[in-house]
Amino acid sequence: MSPATPDPAGKPRTAGRRPGGPDTRGEILAAARESFAGKGFAGTSLRAVAREAGVDAALVHHYFGGKDELFIEALALPIDPRQVAAQILAGPPDELGRRIVTVFLGVWESPDGQQRMKALLRSVVSSEDVARLMREGITKMIIHPVAETLELPDAELRVSLVATHLIGMALSRYLIELEPIASADVQTLINRMAPTIQHYLTAP
């Protein structure tokens, strides 16, 4: 084997690097979105994003903190998914199903949340890149943390079955406007769905 050649990207460059300006944040975000969509979360490095955006890596840290934060910003969700996971997990395990559907529909029922989630769901369906971004987002930010607390060998399958049901509810109620789902009141839907979701999560 030949000795490793130095990575040219690892060598600091000064030419072509612009200082932080009013659009820098947006340009980093655009580069991040492209990288997360094309290479996934694991395949994306802050250094590569910085290079793509033509800025110094320190600026990425300055604007976004770390890779998790950059990823969450790239998802453009109406709320921080870590906050959603925390809300879902705070409380007795036998009411997990009810908390999940309550938090999920709560986001969709807020006018701003609904508008943004509808746009996101439309993009997921029409773009493979957005679908991959969202798939990674749901897995990393929601499915993994919830599955971990279940401590069951098939926990990920259980949580992802719940996710499919919730995604279908959002699509049916807010985009297809299927009746009587579309005009049912939220509490009715929560009461119907909570036992089913609980069953998926904790039934033997």
Return residues touching a copy of itself (CB under 8 A): 121-122, 124-126, 131, 134-135, 138-139, 156-157, 160-161, 163-169, 171-173, 175-181, 184, 188, 192-193, 195-196, 199-200
Closest distance of CB 184 from a copy of itself, Å: 6
* Helices and strands of the chain, counted as H and E runs: 11, 0
Closest distance of CB 166 from a copy of itself, Å: 7
Closest CA to 59 of 118, 17, 114, 3: 17
- Write the CB contacts of 176 (distance below 8 Å, at least 6 apart in sequence): 182
Q: Considering beta carbons, is residue 107 or 181 the nearer one to a copy of itself? A: 181
Q: Considering beta carbons, is residue 7 or 185 the nearer one to a copy of itself? A: 185
AA identity, residue 147: A
Instruction: Please report, for residues 111, 125, 134, 204, the alpha-carbon distance to residue 128 in angstroms, rounded to integers and kept in the order given.
Output: 27, 7, 10, 36
* Tokens of residue 40, six digits: 């996934």
Q: Considering beta carbons, is residue 64 or 200 the nearer one to a copy of itself? A: 200
Q: Considering beta carbons, is residue 36 or 64 the nearer one to a copy of itself? A: 36
Closest distance of CB 118 from a copy of itself, Å: 9
125 three-state secondary structure: helix
Instruction: Please report, for residues 47, 68, 104, 114, 139, the alpha-carbon distance to residue 85 in angstroms, rounded to integers and kept in the order given.
Output: 28, 14, 10, 19, 12
**Residues 120, 117: Cα–Cα separation, whole Å:** 5
Closest distance of CB 73 from a copy of itself, Å: 21
Closest distance of CB 115 from a copy of itself, Å: 15
Q: Considering beta carbons, is residue 86 or 157 the nearer one to a copy of itself? A: 157
